[in-house]
A = this chain, B = another copy of it.
Amino acid sequence: MKVLAILYEGGKAAQEEPRLLGTVENSLGIAEWLKAQGHEFIEGPDSDFQKHIVDAEVLITTPFHPGYLTRELIEKAKNLKICITAGVGSDHIDLNAAVDHRIQVLEVSGSNVVSVAEHVVMSILLLVRNFVPAHEMIERGDWQVSDIARNAFDLEGKVVGTIGAGRIGYRVLQRLVPFDTKELLYYDYAPLPAAAAEAVKARRVEDLKAFVSQCDVVTVNCPLHEGTRGLVNAELLKHFKKGAWLVNTARGAICDKDAVAAALKSGQLSGYAGTAIFTLNRDDHIWRTMKNPLDGGNGMVPHYSGTTIDAQARYANGTKSILENYLTSKAQEPQNVIVGIG
């Protein structure tokens, strides 16, 4: 059996830190285990993808530096039976094509949910409290409290709403409960179970424009699909409260890049924080440098929120478990199945 793992090159960091499991260097900790069973294990960066996909039976990818499995590649992959995403988020795989070619798609459900929820709460706090300009002031040797304080607020008493109250969005709500927000809101296609909504005292708003117009902070915690691509666009941003903060650690493409940058520049948004610009124009992306009129409000980072050292241990273990099930013909955990057999 040929297993192809498209990981990213961690370089010196991965050589020095063996817990960086999601890298080519550290192979999710499964290389020796597979080889000992007589399997062929090929791993490499994206450039090896085209060459080895033609006869691989198992493909492992990650959502952090994804190898894009297009319909064209799937048609070349005559032996491919199963795709495993080491992590959560399989939108780099053409799922319709996988269904057409009877290829299973699995991911390590839940491996990132706490990591991302923590990142969201951190991002909300650092935007509302104006952290980045404050730290930059220290670094450049200044000390002018008023320039920071004029745009720093408490989270207490604000209205926070999540677009998507699934496993990440709900964990965000849970973590916000003790902050004494004025209200917690959510927008989702389905209501939370009554006990879950009551536990976090969250109120559902069914109309998206009505939802954003009530929020001081909006956070996006939904998957990217055709129904959510460009969901936060220029039209919707007009309905935001003036000076609201927006945190999107889901997928960049759920927001309209230029509309967000323009809203931040005009002050319609006070801040934007996110982790995902990789699939867009990476090097000169406007989200890297955009600022609000007070030279703050940018909380962008690379897409690492779901790949902390703790999360890597979880998704490496989960990948191994999915492989074990596949090798021994055991049923997969239902929550890990994105595209099942048949």
Instruction: Report which A residues bind B (CB closer than 8 A).
Output: 8-11, 13-14, 16-17, 19-20, 22-23, 64-65, 114-115, 118-119, 121-122, 125-126, 129-132, 134-135, 137-139, 141, 143-157, 174-175, 177-180, 278, 282-284, 288-289, 298-305, 307-312
Counting every copy of the chain, the complex holds 2
Contact of A137 among B153, B175, B302, B309 (CB under 8 A): B302
A125 and B129 contact, Cβ closer than 8 Å, known pairs A138-B301, A153-B309 = no
Partner of A139, one of B17, B122, B152, B289: B289
Residue of B nearest to A152 (CB): B308
Neighbour of A118 across the interface among B132, B179, B278, B288, CB < 8 A: B179
Q: Which of B143, B150, B175, B304 contacts A134 (CB 8 A)?
A: B304
Are A20 and B148 in contact (CB-based, < 8 A)? no
Q: A150-B13, A308-B154, A309-B152 are in contact. Are A135 and B175 (CB under 8 A)?
A: no
Determine whether the beta carbon of B119 is less than 8 Å from that of A129: yes
Task: Determine the chain B residues whose CB is within 8 A of the CB of A307 once the complex forms.
Answer: 145, 149, 152
Contact partners of A10 in chain B: CB under 8 A: 146, 150
Whole-angstrom distance between the Cβ of A46 and the nearest chain B Cβ: 14
Q: Could you tell me the distance between the alpha carbons of A311 and B155 in the complex, rounded to whole angstroms?
A: 11
16 pairs of residues in contact across A and B, judged by CB atoms under 8 Å: A13-B150, A20-B150, A22-B149, A114-B156, A118-B155, A122-B126, A129-B308, A130-B304, A132-B135, A135-B301, A138-B302, A143-B278, A143-B302, A148-B302, A151-B309, A152-B308
Alpha-carbon gap, A311 to B130, bound state (A) = 14
Contacts of A284 in B (CB 8 A): 141
- B311 and A145 form a contact (CB under 8 A): no
| Chain B residues whose C-beta falls within 8 Å of the C-beta of A150 in the assembled complex | 10, 13-14, 16-17, 19-20, 309
> Measured between C-beta atoms, what is the minimum distance from A11 to chain B in Å?
7
User: Known interface pairs A146-B10, A154-B311, A304-B149. Does A126 touch B131 (Cβ–Cβ under 8 Å)?
Assistant: yes
Pairwise interchain contact A153-B310, C-beta atoms closer than 8 A: yes
State in angstroms the CA–CA spacing of A277 and B79 once bound together. Answer: 63
Q: Which B residues touch A137, using CB under 8 A?
A: 301-302
Report chain B residues within 8 Å CB of A178: 174-175, 177-178
A154 lies within 8 A of B310 (CB): yes
Choose from B135, B288, B302, B309 the contact partner of A299 (Cβ within 8 Å). Answer: B135
Give the chain B neighbours of A22 by CB distance below 8 A: 149
Given contact pairs A141-B283, A304-B152, A11 touches B179 in the complex (Cβ within 8 A): no
A304 CB contacts on chain B under 8 angstroms: 130, 134, 145, 148-149, 152
Which residues of chain B are near A145, meaning CB under 8 Å?
A: 8, 64-65, 302-304, 307
A125 and B134 contact, CB distance less than 8 A: no
**A146 and B309 contact, CB distance less than 8 A:** no
